[in-house]
Amino acid sequence: MMQHLATALGGVLAGLALAVPLLWQRQRALTKALWAATHDDITGLPNRRLFLTHLRAALADNTPAGVVLLDLNNFKTVNDTLGHEAGNDLLDQVGRRLASLPGPVLAARLSGDEFALLVTDDREATAVAANAAWQVIAAHSIRVVNADLHVTASVGYTHTHTHQPNIGTRQMLSQADSAMYEAKVTTGRVREYLPHRTATVRSRDRQRH
């Protein structure tokens, strides 16, 4: 009987020895797939999907939240003159600089050369983050391939404190986008969404979801 028990136990152990690596591989593949679905493959930052998930959660909890949108000025020129590899390198390095910003700030790449910050703090902190984002990009040149690029960005932001309750993700993104566009056609730096001022500026027609 002991021999049969030992044989059975040996079979179970052998089965586990085969099953554990297989389960580990499946778990690893699932983790990799989940990461790819929620992160940008060039910068490694959260993508639009994950950014919106965090923004919806903040709004649902009535957490003070600011949205900062920015895009790089003359990014198309970099791609056209230096190539897409240089453009991707520039995006990666900009993403690293934005990810280094202090405070409760989530940096994300939404699409193309457009990045976003979710600031789960008050209006003042959002303004600080918006200006810091501009500064961290423009303060020092960025080395790509065989060129040193002096890059600037147009930055717009909005905050839940400024507006009525129950504001949604679409509206916040639209407001930040309007402010960003105003920055691009005026100062080229940082603008806050203010209805009496920004409402007169044409917002770009973009798909937000």
pLDDT for residue 146: 78
What percentage of the chain exceeds 70 in pLDDT?
A: 76
Assess if CATH 3.30.565.10 describes domain 48-198.
no
Q: Is the dihedral of CA 99, 105, 110, 113 positive or negative?
A: negative
The yes-or-no verdict on residue 135 having pLDDT over 60 is: yes
> Using one digit for the tens of pLDDT, what is the confidence trace for 76-132?
999 889 999 999 999 999 999 999 999 999 999 999 999 999 999 999 999 999 999
Judge whether residue 10 has pLDDT over 70. no
Q: Tell me which of 10-14, 79-83, 141-145 is least confident.
A: 10-14
Arithmetic mean of pLDDT, 34-63: 93
What is the rounded average pLDDT of the residues 151-157?
Answer: 96
24, pLDDT greater than 70:
no
Out of 5-19, 25-39, 106-120, 153-167, least confident range: 5-19
Residues, the chain: 209
CA distance 85 to 109: 17
Retrieve residue 110's tokens.
Answer: 């939404």
CA distances from 4 to 1, 34, 145 (A): 5, 44, 68
Best-predicted range by mean pLDDT (23-27, 54-58, 146-150):
54-58
The two beta strands, 190-192 and 66-72, are unpaired
DSSP β-ladder status, 190-192 and 153-159: parallel
Give the Cβ contact number of residue 35 at 10 Å.
Answer: 12
Which amino acid does the sequence have at 99?
A: A
pLDDT above 80 for 32: no
Beta strands in the chain (DSSP E): 66-72, 105-111, 114-119, 142-144, 147-149, 153-159, 190-192
Q: Which residues contact 180 (CB under 8 A, 6 or more apart)?
A: 69, 70, 71, 154, 155, 156, 191
Domain ranges of the chain: 1-38, 48-198
